[in-house]
Amino acid sequence: MDVLDAIKSRRSIAKMKDLPVPKELIEQVIEAGTWAPNRYLTEPWRFFVIQSNGRNELSKVMENIVIQSGIDLESEEGKRKLEKEKNKPFRAPVIIAVAAEVTENGKALRIEELGAVYAAIENMLLAAHGLGLAAYWKTGNACYNPLMKEFFHLKEKDEVLALINLGYADSEKNPPHKRPLQELIKWIE
Ligand SMILES: Cc1cc2nc3c(=O)[nH]c(=O)nc-3n(C[C@H](O)[C@H](O)[C@H](O)COP(=O)(O)O)c2cc1C
């Protein structure tokens, strides 16, 4: 697939089939992430592949985050929120948590370490698309919660930047509206 075609035809796919994804494909997606630009070659990305029963562990973390939020779990709203968060890890056969392990060498800037990992995430979404897989970049408040970092044994300075849902598409999505380029570009010449 041509690169520009891949960029334009990639979509966030919500519904995925309950089918496992071969390990080789998962590794190809992750490897694509590692080819992203990164200043001082710090390679700040870390990947956590959560699948099959591992999703129960992530579900437990999601549950604890809701409980810790202090929401009234006796209320209808509280019950709904708890169920919704607990079920999120089961929306895809594979979830790849992508984290930035921020380098502390006095040179690498935090903003650039995060930027490199964001670039890696887009590489991964495009690779998944090129490999015939569906992917969806998810975050939500849970992603940035300290309990999530703890689950992955990350330090306070580190960040979980994506929970990529990965699988085989079971739904389609129309492309979103894009603002005309003229609104976004200023030519300075
Ligand atoms: C940093 C970041 C976080 C995102 N988090 C979520 C999320 O938590 N839930 C969600 O439904 N989509 C999330 N998305 C995906 C966007 O909603 C999606 O990319 C957008 O709707 C455009 O659709 P497309 O990816 O099909 O072009 C996130 C995207 C980015 C860049």
Domains of the chain with bracketed CATH: 3-51+91-170 (3.40.109.10)
DSSP H stretches of helix in 3-87: 3-9, 23-34, 54-68, 76-87
163: closest CA among 129, 140, 146, 147? Answer: 140
Q: What is the pLDDT of residue 51?
A: 97
Residue of minimum CA distance from atom 13 in ligand 1: 138
Q: How far is the CA of 138 from the centre of ligand 1 (A)?
A: 6
Q: Read off the DSSP letter of residue 128.
A: H
Q: How far is the CA of 162 from the centre of ligand 1 (A)?
A: 10
Q: What is the pLDDT of residue 1?
A: 81
140 close to ligand 1 (CB < 6 Angstrom):
yes
CA dist 80 → 11, 71, 88, 131, 154 (Å):
28, 11, 12, 36, 29
Q: Which residue positions in the chain have pLDDT lower than 50? A: none
pTM equals: 0.97
Residue of minimum CA distance from atom 27 in ligand 1: 11
Q: In ligand 1, which atom is closest to the CA atom of 139?
A: 8
Residue 45 phi/psi, 5-degree rounding, is -80, 145
176 close to ligand 1 (CB < 6 Angstrom):
yes
